[in-house]
Structure 1
Amino acid sequence: MPLKRTLKWLGLLLLVALGLIIYKLFAPAIGLFTAGQINKIGLSPNELAANGPLPGEVSLYQQELACSQQLPTPGYYPTLNGAEIADAQRSGVFPCARFTGSHEGNNQVYAWQSVDSYPGISYINNRKPGELYIVGGEYPTLKDLVPAGPYIAKADATTGKEIWRTYVDNPNASGRWIGNANLNILENGNIPFSWSNQIVLLDGDSGEILKHNTLPSGPAAAEDVNFKHLTIAPDGTLILKDQTRPAGCQGQGTMAILKCVDQGLMPKSSVVVAVDPDSLEILDQLALPEPAVSPHNIVEFEGRITIYIGMATRVGRAFWDPASKKLSLDESWQAFPMQEGQGAATAPTIVGDWVGFQLNGIGSSVKASSVVLINQHDASKMVTHFPFGELEEGQWSWAPPKMGGDAENHMVYSADVGIGKVAGIKFDPQTGAMQNAFIVNNSTSTFQPVIGPKDQRVLLLTHMKLNAPNEPIKMAVFTSNYTEQLKWHDAATGEVLAESDFFAPLTINSLTPPGFGGRVYFPSAVGEYFKVLQVLPKRSEP
């Protein structure tokens, strides 16, 4: 017995010693493995697949930049995405951006999140391949009903690491109404930025505020205007237009307009202002006959700088004359495309001889959304198309973003988040006649960017998934009670080429802009971040 007991104790001591040796040898590896697993908690499958920042296909950087610099974008920095939506015409078409997935086979989506937080993020632009510019702090969320901002930030385009951040306001202190604000980059690389009734010029390299001015509010009170709509005319002049919040409306953010109009309050008429891009001097202003909640568009038409504008009940246009420095309304060109029960027209889309408008920009529960094409030469030539048919009882139609347009391929795109569908529509460039090419079930409140060369266009659409499937869509949108993914579609057929995981909601009425090297950016005000996404052909399993 004593011998057996002794041997037993010796065996136990040997096991303990062996365990200590194994621990000493492998403890660092075990620690690293545990830390690595902890770091992966909460990552989606797309992020687990990437396992780190996404630089994209670096071999495409200079090719995409050189291609972009050949595009006509007078007034804007010549790059892949120097304007809020693609270019001087806000076309939403990015012909130099590349889709790095397969058009025929299976694809894998990779994703990674910005290393730094960007509360209330709305828009993302780039200048050089490594640079990213961000607007945030002007989109209220349930977590932060009155965020500090707006701010403009510069970040690393791959990691999202902040380089600088310049705050221009804080409504908690100033008491101003802060709505969404555009992001545009001038030819010299600097950034003109407007919000409320304020405008500044920022140094694009350092973020330093170089100039400031106060903008005229027109018929509305100064506390009820938001100069979200800043575009650059071909001669370089800044052309701005304000959104107006109904008097007595106390909500923050652009969505305050929709909520207060729902309560029967009506906003005052908007004003167009011309501003010198270097000094920010007010050159001229023009009162509009109605409120215009959506951005305008600028194009050269018959040798004149022409500004197309969608308003509450009509659409019209104005001219900017660089010689006389004067704005003027074109009384000979206006149309009334809204049918009884429809909401306002959204921002215009130029497609050849036609200017297109999406209806129901502020929503309707009685009349379906439609798109109209109006001839630039003759406003009496107007074609109307209802891509989703008539509105059914209990449905709510809301189409806040401008219609997408691809003039080269004679395609326009219409998204109605209320009924959860997006249509690709073929139009006749001679007559304006339209017919559906496809309809997909995508609930999206955002723009419909199109990337790639003419014969390989890819349509980027987001898609919402409600956390409470039976919740009315209007309530879900107002409370951000949903998640959202990005889907890559064949722009001609609607076929899905790839789809991402679901993330925190994309900022309403924003877009998923392309970046260099085949990347796409997904900004989320609710998530306080942006995701970097990329599609590549799926590798076969070993």
Structure 2
Amino acid sequence: MNKSLKLIALAVIVALSYAVYRLGWPVIEAKIDRRNAQAGLTPNQLDANGPLPGDVSLYAKELECQQKIPTPGYYSSLNGAEISDSERSGLFPCATFTGLLDGPNQVYAWRSADDYPGVSYINNRKPGELYIVGGEYPTLEDPNMVGPFVAKANATTGKQLWRTYLDNLNASGRWIGNANLNILEDGNIVFAWSNQIVLIDGDTGLILKHNTLPGGEAPAEDVNFKHLTIAPDGTLILKDQTRPIGCTLQGTMAIIKCSAEGMKQPNSVLVAVDPKNLQVLDWLQLPEPAPSPHIIAPYHDKIAIYMGMISTAARYFWDPVTRKLSADKNWMVQPLAEGQNAITAPTMVGDWVAVQTNGLFSEKKASSVVVIHQDDASNVHTIFPFGELKKGELSFAPPKAGADPENNMIYSADMGMRKVAGIKIDPATGDLKVAFVVDDISTTFQPLIGQKDKRVLLLTNMKLNVEREPIKMALFTENYKEQLTWRDAATGKILAESDFFEPLSINGLTPPGFGGRIYFTSAVGKGFYVLQVRPKPAS
């Protein structure tokens, strides 16, 4: 081949190579970008490969179902209250499990488009609307987090629509602990934190009203009105947590950490507030600290308020005619066994009020579930679902007991003993019997979704990064990962389980969304996860 032909051939090769580069590089570059975007994603996220709208064919059906259930005071939505309703039941009969009850399932996950530092609570109003509380959970990286804030986001993508900041502890000097989220009947949001309360426009985030709440004998800097529930007449019933005197830590865990050091909590107060103008209508000084939330339930023709204080389970009444709070002196029970520590929030199961013990750490006595009859405070039944503590073991059962009154079930989680139990109650006698016990470490509530005969139990499950690390140390240092499991509520059998993500926010929830979705909040990670179960596809 002569020289000129060689040059022509070389030119053709160069031209072809350039053409291949021009045509192929965008494809290669796209693959590189895609791999970079997928770096660090869990298998559940890779399987979803994008935002999860859930099953959109269920939206209208779920909303219609929910609107048939009376929720006086609250917006009629799948999850318009912090935990379901004024009883904080944790029961969501109109939420859907979109997997199989008798076959293999696949979990899909996607992380919110925007970050919500310190996210704890998520509620929905209409399908597509999501409300988020954050900024009140200190992390090791940000111990003096700015907040709390309330935000509105797209329910599928987590893209923020607006965010309203309500405080900055670095400037105000207040103690900021967890603060729950409730949507009023008119669609606006009432929100309390420290000794403050505001009314927020649910459409715009504009603060409409503000007031200061009475802390009673507790110093203002040690008060946190996390516990807000709405009575059937619309009146707001609030109770405060109190931080031990001399404690300077932030977050709700300050109660646990400083109490363990022997610091003393001041007593709590119970307050009634007008939902329209936030005027304080009445308040009572309580005889003990009450670190766990109260619930509201009808009792004959009265509005009853049940609460667990440090050592006493008690009942109070709200009278909407006289606008007065009062104590029921005939219904005060001290259910703690020797060595147990603190009562958690009550749970209604038919005519019985159930409380969980060891809301604070105990190294002396295992946790128990105690049921008390509404009509007779001397009619008390107790069960120790996990047996007795062995030497070196720890009991810590911070969440309220879950319950399914339709199926006569109670659920108990003790993260210190690393177990969760399903307990059967005889509605006539109050007798208790363990239905199942599963190995599962969880600090949070046990929501139930679905209709009576297809009830599904949601449990988080922690996995320690250092297997033999003491559970208390792992909790305080956030040195663990956490997943969500879907279980048969009658047997505890696992139906589906997610990947392990960053830890769920302490005191955070895993609430249902429309279309079979579940939200998983993580103050340690970025934003929150949207999860959904579907039948496992064929290989």
| Matched residue, 2:538 | 540
Q: Find the aligned partners of 2:176 and 2:431 in 1 and give their Cα distance.
A: 40
Post-superposition offset of 1:5: 9.0
1:240 is paired with a residue whose SS is strand
Tell me which of 392, 399, 416 is aligned to 1:418: 416
Post-superposition offset of 1:17: 3.3
TM norm structure 2: 0.98
Tell me which of 479, 484, 492 is aligned to 2:477: 479
Q: Could you tell me which runs of 5 or more consecutive residues in structure 1 were left unpaired when the two chains were aligned.
A: none
| Matched residue, 2:506 | 508
Tell me which of 428, 431, 434 is aligned to 1:430: 428
| Matched residue, 2:391 | 393
The Cα offsets for residues 286-333 of structure 1, whole Å up to 9 and x where unpaired, read as 111100000000001011000001011111010000000000000011
The answer (yes or no) to whether the contact 1:86–1:92 under 8 Å persists in 2 is yes
| Matched residue, 1:159 | 157
| Identity rate, percent | 65
Greater mean deviation of Cα atoms: 69-78 or 27-36: 27-36
1:464 is paired with a residue whose SS is strand
The Cα offsets for residues 352-397 of structure 1, whole Å up to 9 and x where unpaired, read as 0000001000111111011100000001001000000001111111
Q: Find the aligned partners of 2:237 and 2:222 in 1 and give their Cα distance.
A: 19
| Matched residue, 1:148 | 146
Q: Find the aligned partners of 2:326 and 2:2 in 1 and give their Cα distance.
A: 107
| Matched residue, 2:267 | 269
1:85 is paired with a residue whose SS is coil
Tell me which of 399, 405, 408 is aligned to 1:407: 405
The Cα offsets for residues 8-55 of structure 1, whole Å up to 9 and x where unpaired, read as 877665544332221122222222222112111111110110100000
TM norm structure 1: 0.98
Q: Find the aligned partners of 1:287 and 1:28 in 2 and give their Cα distance.
A: 70
Q: Find the aligned partners of 1:7 and 1:188 in 2 and give their Cα distance.
A: 84
| Matched residue, 1:173 | 171
Q: Find the aligned partners of 2:97 and 2:2 in 1 and give their Cα distance.
A: 73
| Matched residue, 1:340 | 338
The answer (yes or no) to whether the contact 1:237–1:276 under 8 Å persists in 2 is yes
Q: Find the aligned partners of 2:383 and 2:491 in 1 and give their Cα distance.
A: 19
Q: How does 1:457-496 map to 2 (within 5 A)?
A: 457-496=455-494
Q: CA RMSD in A?
A: 1.2
Letter in 2 for 1:294: S
| Matched residue, 2:448 | 450
1:23 is paired with a residue whose SS is helix
Q: How does 1:12-51 map to 2 (within 5 A)?
A: 14-51=12-49
Greater mean deviation of Cα atoms: 403-412 or 12-21: 12-21
Letter in 1 for 2:231: A
Letter in 2 for 1:57: D
Tell me which of 209, 212, 222 is aligned to 1:211: 209
2:21 is paired with a residue whose SS is helix
Q: Find the aligned partners of 1:492 and 1:6 in 2 and give their Cα distance.
A: 85
The Cα offsets for residues 401-427 of structure 1, whole Å up to 9 and x where unpaired, read as 100000000000000111111001111
Tell me which of 111, 120, 132 is aligned to 1:122: 120
Post-superposition offset of 1:86: 0.9
Post-superposition offset of 1:469: 1.1
Q: How does 1:184-199 map to 2 (within 5 A)?
A: 184-199=182-197
The answer (yes or no) to whether the contact 1:200–1:210 under 8 Å persists in 2 is yes
The answer (yes or no) to whether the contact 2:87–2:297 under 8 Å persists in 1 is yes
| Matched residue, 2:366 | 368
The Cα offsets for residues 207-263 of structure 1, whole Å up to 9 and x where unpaired, read as 100000000001111111100000000000000000011110111000000001100
Residue 313, structure 1, aligned to residue 311, structure 2: yes
Q: Find the aligned partners of 1:496 and 1:86 in 2 and give their Cα distance.
A: 23
Figure out how many residues of one structure are paired with residues of the other and give that number.
539
Q: Find the aligned partners of 2:10 and 2:463 in 1 and give their Cα distance.
A: 58
Letter in 2 for 1:357: V
The answer (yes or no) to whether the contact 2:178–2:507 under 8 Å persists in 1 is no
| Matched residue, 1:519 | 517
Q: Find the aligned partners of 2:114 and 2:256 in 1 and give their Cα distance.
A: 32
| Matched residue, 1:68 | 66
1:312 is paired with a residue whose SS is coil
The answer (yes or no) to whether the contact 1:213–1:281 under 8 Å persists in 2 is yes
Post-superposition offset of 1:464: 0.6
Q: Could you tell me which runs of 5 or more consecutive residues in structure 2 were left unpaired when the two chains were aligned.
A: none
The answer (yes or no) to whether the contact 1:120–1:528 under 8 Å persists in 2 is no
Residue 111, structure 1, aligned to residue 97, structure 2: no
The answer (yes or no) to whether the contact 1:121–1:528 under 8 Å persists in 2 is no
| Matched residue, 1:294 | 292
Letter in 2 for 1:251: L
Q: Find the aligned partners of 2:506 and 2:169 in 1 and give their Cα distance.
A: 20
The answer (yes or no) to whether the contact 1:272–1:285 under 8 Å persists in 2 is yes
Residue 253, structure 1, aligned to residue 288, structure 2: no
Q: Find the aligned partners of 1:481 and 1:6 in 2 and give their Cα distance.
A: 71
| Matched residue, 2:240 | 242
Letter in 1 for 2:440: N
